[in-house]
A and B are shown apart, each in its own frame.
Chain A
Amino acid sequence: MIQDELGPHGLTVVAVALDEADAAREWVDAAAPNYPALVDADHELAELFGIVNVPSVVWVDEDDRVVRPPVIAPVDDLWREFTGIDSSVHHDQLRAWVRRGEPPYRHDEARARVREASPDEQLARAHRRLGALLRRAGRPDRALVHFERAAALAPMDWTIRRGTLPLRGGDPFGPEFFEFAAEWEAAGRPDHRSADRDAG
């Protein structure tokens, strides 16, 4: 585990679940992590950094500067056949940064990788958030309306298209997901920036 290996060299892992608290708790209890496990039900951090898929990582240095904007970085190779991502590359990049102070790219190269925030993206995130609030307030009927608006505004955003499935009674591994995945595939996998192919 990366925290065990690189913690003594100055790295702190912070896990953040883009989930409702009860959904996150189940997984965190099972994993019993030795690092902070946060719950971001309102997707505040996702919006701050422009995270549109999971699992994503952001690297932040000792002075709270973003060294690496979000990239997709699976913990292991369980879904490698689908994602095409070799998880060991990210781990080696992390070792180079933490142990030897070598970031994957220069600051200006990192800046070029910052995701733009468009009006549609911001409106989609507001509708997703309103949907989650309405669901918690016992109005699943109204929540659905806003989840659908969010999806129409940001059709390639996994945190919206897939992330709202359990919130509207759907199955994140069911037919709606595969329909979305096919759409995303046909569009050329937009925003599929992975750690193993993003460094020079």
Chain B
Amino acid sequence: MRTSDTITSPDGTFRLDPADFAAQTGWELKPQGLCRGDACIPVRDRGDLVVGGRVDVRAFAVLTGRPLALDEEAGLAVLGVASAERAAERAAMVVEDFELPTADGGRFRWSSIGHRKKLLFAWASW
């Protein structure tokens, strides 16, 4: 399951040192561009993406089509999953393994159910 990244920028600029950006998003600044695994985004002609040696989170969000909810005052942002990627993931109709907390404070891994039919029941107290 693709998940969003939580980004902290204590000074509220959301221009991060490349090492910090890599730690928070998994995208590393390399000579060939911003890379995660084998995927690279060229940055040479993108003056708005790397400014004064720092990665601009807003420009990165625009470039990758990812939604960005950002709070300058709190220095906190959520970089979400691009709608195209989410749409593709839904259309694949396969549940990849994931882990979530349980109500009693444990952790639960989806694959621990094994080869059975599953009824996912989403509810809420509200």
Contacts and interface: CB of A to CB of B under 8 A. Distances in A.
A134 B71 contact: yes
Interface in B67-126: 67-71, 73-74, 76-84, 86-87, 89-91, 93-96, 98, 100-104, 108, 110, 113, 115-126
A126 interface: yes
Range of interface residues on A (Cβ < 8 Å): 35 or more
B19 interface: no
A45 B100 contact: yes
A28 B123 CA distance: 11
Nearest to A41: B101
A158 B37 CA distance: 37
B10 to A, nearest CB: 12
A61 B118 CA distance: 6
Contact of B104 (A25, A73, A115): A25
Contact of A13 (B79, B108, B121): B121
Contact of A64 (B68, B95, B121): B95
Contacts of B70: 130
Contacts of A122: 67, 80-83, 86
B13 interface: no
Contact of A111 (B3, B93, B113): B93
A55 to B, nearest CB: 5
B83 A17 contact: no
Interface in A112-149: 114-119, 121-123, 125-127, 129-130, 133-134, 137, 139, 142, 145-146, 149
B1 interface: yes
A199 interface: no
A136 to B, nearest CB: 11
